[in-house]
Chains A and B, each alone.
Chain A
Amino acid sequence: MKAKHQRLVLICIALVGLVAAGLIAAYALRDQASYFYTPGDIAEKGVEPGQAIRLGGMVQKGSIRKQADGVTIDFIVEDGKGTVPVRFTGITPDLFVEGSGVVAEGRMNASGQFVADNLLAKHDENYVPREMRDMTKADVKKLGGTVQQP
C-alpha cells in the first residue's frame, strides 16, 4: 500500500466492512425474522407451514387437553376473529391458564396445527409482551394480562 493513501484505504476498508454487515443483516432479516400473528390474521391471510412465527391470543376456556405422556398439551388460541389449535411439549409457564393471554413461538404444520417450541413466560403479573399490549388496545378484545402503568 502506498503510504500517502493510507487513510483513504482505511476508510474504504471500514466502509466496505460496515456496508457488508448492513447488507448481510438486511438480507438475513427478511428471511429470519419471525412475524407476529393473531388467530384472526391466520384465518384471513394464512401462513405457510414451517415458517417461524409468533402466535398471540387468548387460551380458550376449557380447551386445554393434557396428552397421555403428561408433558404435551393441546389447546386452542382465539382472538374473537379466529381460532388456532396449538400443541406444546414442555413445562408451561406459571401464569399459563385458560382464559389468559399467551404468545407462542413456533410454526404451523401441514394439518393446520400450530406446533409451539416455546410459550413466552411472563415474569410476573405486570409483564405482558409488547405485541399483546398493542392488541388489547387496538381492538379492546379480551386478551389477557394487565399492563401496569407507571
Chain B
Amino acid sequence: MKHWAIWLPLALFGLLFAVFASGLIAPGDRTIASQMIGKPLPDFDLPQAVPDRPALAKADFTTGKPKLLNVFASWCVPCIAEAPVLAELARAGVEIDGVAIRDRTADVQAFLARNGNPYTRIGRDDVSKIQFDLGSSGVPETFVINGKGIITYQHIGEIRADQVPMILQKLKEAQ
C-alpha cells in the first residue's frame, strides 16, 4: 500500500504532463498551412490603403511575374521586425504587394513612414475578408504568387533575415 502510494504523485504528474503536451501539439493549436496552396487567388478588389500607393486587386497578380503578397497591419508588433527584411527583399528586386488588415489610413502611413515602405501596391481589408479567403490566420503572413495568380507558398509569421534566401528560392521556383 505505502509502497505504491509514494509513486502516485509522479503518476498523477505524468498524466498532467500528457494533458499539457497534447494541448500543445494538438492539431488545432499549431499554425496550419492554408488549403489554398496550389489554388488560384480568390477574387478580390481592395480599396487603396494609402494615397501614394495604388489599390490592389486579383488582376495585379496575373502579370506573368511572381510576386509576394504580404498581409500586415500597423498594430502588429512582428510586422515592425519584419519591415527591414521586406525592404531587403524589395532591394533584391522582388515586387511586394501589401494588404493592411483592419487598419486606418493614418496609422498605415505612420507605420510606413517609421519602418519603410517596401510595397508596390497596398490594399486595405477592413474586415479580414481577404485574409480568411487566403487561408491566413494571423498577421504577418506572406504568400508567394506565381505569374498566373496561383498561390505557391505560404509563410506564416514574420520573415526573418535568415529566411530571405529561402523566400527568393520560392520565388524562383514559382517562375
Chain A residues close to B by CB (< 8 Å): 7-8, 11, 15, 99-100, 125-126, 133-134, 136-138, 140-150
Contacts and interface: CB of A to CB of B under 8 A. Distances in A.
Contacts of A144: 127-128
A26 to B, nearest CB: 13
B78 interface: yes
Interface of B: 1-2, 5, 8, 28-29, 31-32, 34-36, 73, 75-78, 101-102, 127-129, 131-133, 135, 137-141, 156-158
A147 B138 contact: yes
B128 A8 contact: no
Contacts of A147: 137-139
Contacts of A8: 1-2
Contacts of A125: 73, 75, 102
A11 B5 CA distance: 8
**In the complex, which of the residues B77, B132, B139, B141 has the most CB atoms of chain A within 10 Å of its own CB atom?**
B132
Given A146-B128, A149-B139, A150-B157, A126 B75 contact: yes
22 contacts: A8-B1, A11-B1, A125-B75, A133-B137, A134-B28, A140-B133, A141-B132, A142-B129, A142-B133, A145-B128, A146-B102, A146-B139, A147-B137, A147-B139, A148-B78, A149-B31, A149-B138, A149-B141, A149-B157, A149-B158, A150-B78, A150-B157
A138 B28 contact: yes
Listed from nearest, the 4 A-B pairs whose CB atoms lie closest are: A149-B138, A134-B28, A147-B138, A137-B32
Contacts of B131: 146
A150 B76 CA distance: 9
Contact of B132 (A7, A126, A134, A136): A136
B155 to A, nearest CB: 11
